[in-house]
Amino acid sequence: MTAPRTVTAAASPGPGPGPGPARRGWRAPSVIPGFGPTLGITLGYLGLVVLIPLAALVWRSTELGAAAFWDLARDPRTLAALRTSFGAALIAAGVNAVFGALVAWVLVRYRFAGRRLLDAVVDLPFALPTAVAGIALAALYGPQGWLGKPLAALGIQVAYAPAGIVVALVFVGLPFVVRTLQPVIAEIDREWEEAAASLGARRAQTVRRVIAPSLLPAWATGFALALARGVGEYGSVIFIAGNLPHVSEIAPLLIVIKLEEFNYPAATAVGVMMLSISFALLLVINLLQAWNRRRLTDAR
């Protein structure tokens, strides 16, 4: 990549053998051509699909004016909705990180009857319309449901309470963690485990010191994906959440309510708040990952 610059004096003029000096004004032909067009298409596509809509969102929310925006941001109902959304999404992503990793481990590491079926089941939350999932969960955890009734007897209310939101988000977020971790677990070298054992490490030490660290980047990605999905989830949550303002009302629902009142600026303003928080969270996760990668690959 660096060679063609140093042509000037030393190289014999005229066509010489070996790698021909690049002519001025021409880039040396690349081994992987097509950088220009592909980057252009990528930028155009991302702009069209992601950046322009987001810019429109931000632009629309400015109609509200700074003062009104600030008032909305400090409105207890807005704050409660944002807290519910992000809190539930964080808890659900955490639950999925633990149990999704377990599911992925079992699916990759063991061979048993019905493994492929179970593997397909993991994708159901992807495939199911979220409203269907919400209705099913609401029926299951409702006061008369199979699970809701015994839980109610124990004094635990899941449906129509914040706990219900977490349940719904665990449901929709599970495939993200499982599918992200599966290929990475499959990549784990069995010999690492054997090497650790031959060096005297007990199983728990091997898992903690050898396996978990090698899964960490994928784990963080799966967590971030599940979190992002949870924050934006609407369909499955509203059926089970009860949607009580200040208690179990999620931010996307607040946006819908504002829209139904034809208060577009307020709706977009809540959207911008969600966007900022999500962006900040993903940024933190990515920074952590980058730090971890650097820690692993830096010489000295």
Partner 1 sequence: MDVRIDHVRKEFGRFAALDDTSLTIHDGELVALLGPSGSGKTTLLRVLAGLERPSAGRILFGDQDAASLSVQERNIGFVFQHYALFKHMTVLDNVAFGLSVCPARRRPPRAEIAARARRLLALVQIDGLDRRYPDQLSGGQRQRVALARALATDPRVLLLDEPFGALDARVRKDLRHWLRGFHDRTGHTTVFVTHDQDEALELADRVVVMNAGRVEQVADPDTLYDRPASPFVFAFIGDSSSLPATVRAGRLWVAGRALGPVPAADGPVRLFFRPHHARLADTGALVGRVVASRRQGDRRRLDVALRPDAPSDAPSDAPPDAPSDAAGPPHSADLPRPGDAPAASTPVEIDVATDAAPPVGASIRFDITRPSLFPAPAAPRRPIVVAPRPGTALAPPGPKPDRAHAAG
List of long-range contacts for 66-70, beta carbons under 8 Å, 24+ apart: 68/265, 68/266, 68/269, 69/269
Distance between CA 209 and CA 201 in Å, rounded?
9
Quick check: 61 and 273 in contact, CB under 8 A?
no
- Looking at 58, 73, 136, 201, which residue binds partner 1 (CB under 8 A)? 201
Query: Which two tokens mark 273?
Result: 């708040």
183: contact with partner 1 by CB under 8 A: no
Q: How far is the CB of 167 from partner 1 (least distance, A)?
A: 35
Among the listed ranges 20-28, 93-101, 187-195, 241-249, the one in contact with partner 1 (CB under 8 A) is 187-195
Considering beta carbons, is residue 191 or 260 the nearer one to partner 1?
A: 191
Quick check: 285 and 223 in contact, CB under 8 A?
yes
Considering beta carbons, is residue 287 or 296 the nearer one to partner 1?
A: 296
- Looking at 28, 195, 247, 284, which residue binds partner 1 (CB under 8 A)? 195
189: contact with partner 1 by CB under 8 A: yes
* Contact set for partner 1, span 269-298 (CB under 8 A): 296-297
Quick check: 95 and 171 in contact, CB under 8 A?
no
Q: How far is the CB of 212 from partner 1 (least distance, A)?
A: 10
* Contact set for partner 1, span 206-235 (CB under 8 A): 209-210, 213-214
- Please tell me the chain's helix, strand, coil percentages from 3-state DSSP, rounded to the nearest 5: 75, 0, 25
Helix (H, G, I), strand (E, B) or coil at 259: helix
- Looking at 111, 191, 262, 294, which residue binds partner 1 (CB under 8 A)? 191
Contacts with partner 1 by CB under 8 A lie at: 189, 191-192, 194-202, 205, 209-210, 213-214, 296-297, 299-300
